[in-house]
Structure 1
Amino acid sequence: MDISWKESYSVGITKIDEQHKKLFELLNELKDAQENEKDYGFISKTISELFDYSVYHFKIEEDLLKEINYPHLNEHIEEHEYFRRQVSELQKMSNERKLILNVKLVIFLKEWIFTHILASDKDFGRFLKTIEK
């Protein structure tokens, strides 16, 4: 079953929402790789894409949060750093062919992204709306 985007996940910033949708696509690719026992090359490529795209996305998000003087910027950056470290470790394990892509791993990535979007990112979306008024 794919991880589907719902409008209720929107933070109200089109650019950020589109990037979140891309993260969902990458998660679905990993989930598919796990379910269909894809080869290491595919898994490694997808984890690298997830890492690279998250770095790109987090930079855009963090720049926006700095621009609007978001009061929880440091905590938000720490959450991003945690995710980057986790995915970087997965990338390293995958490159060394030591990674077992299992259900728990896919669930961890999915839950982190969902929790981050639905809590932290939606919070800055609400903050942005209050300062735009």
Structure 2
Amino acid sequence: MIKWREEYSTGVQSIDEQHKKLIEIADRAFKLLKDDFCVDKYDKIVSILEELKDYTVYHFQSEEEYMMSIRYKKLFSHKALHEKFIEKINEVDFNKIDEDQNEYILGILEFIVTWIENHILGNDKLIGKD
């Protein structure tokens, strides 16, 4: 579904490595979606979402610290985008996961992949140029 592409590179190694990890988490969610042998995916979905939340908080904090260290001019607007993403992930309704697990995973994946691509290409790449 989503794989690391060189165009995602910001030129900041630590940020790029963290982006690779986010993409790897999204890829695991995609593989779970495609796993026809796993009938009840609830626990795995919850586990992936919890990992995504935890890692995203770590990544955003790390990225924001880097932006502060280089006196990045768009830090506050960038931070607002991060907070919006965290809000969206925190709104996940675990009760709805059980209603249609594949549909729920697909919805989460579409959101994550779109956000990662748009955010990295539209916002994060600017960090390496500052």
CA distance in 1 between partners of 2:88 and 2:71 (Å): 27
Partner of 2:86: 84
Q: What does 1:1-133 correspond to in 2, within 5 Å?
A: 2-36=1-35, 38=38, 39-90=41-92, 93-94=93-94, 97-99=95-97, 100=101, 101-127=104-130
* Aligned 8 A contact 2:67 2:75 in 1: yes
CA distance in 2 between partners of 1:105 and 1:61 (Å): 23
RMSD of the alignment, in Å?
Answer: 1.4
Deviation, structure 1 residue 52: 0.2
Paired residue total: 122
CA distance in 2 between partners of 1:19 and 1:52 (Å): 12
CA distance in 2 between partners of 1:104 and 1:60 (Å): 27
Deviation, structure 1 residue 105: 2.8
Provide the identity percentage.
Answer: 37
CA distance in 2 between partners of 1:9 and 1:46 (Å): 23
Deviation, structure 1 residue 103: 2.5
Q: What are the ranges of 5 or more consecutive residues in structure 2 without an aligned counterpart?
A: none
Q: Which moved more, 1:73-82 or 1:24-33?
A: 24-33
CA distance in 1 between partners of 2:108 and 2:59 (Å): 21
Runs of 4+ in 1 over 4 A off after TM superposition: none
- The one-letter code matched in structure 2 to 1:64 is Y
TM-score scaled to structure 1, two decimals?
A: 0.85
Deviation, structure 1 residue 6: 1.0
CA distance in 2 between partners of 1:61 and 1:77 (Å): 9
Deviations 1:52-82 (A, max 9, x none): 0000000000011111111111110011001
CA distance in 1 between partners of 2:56 and 2:107 (Å): 20
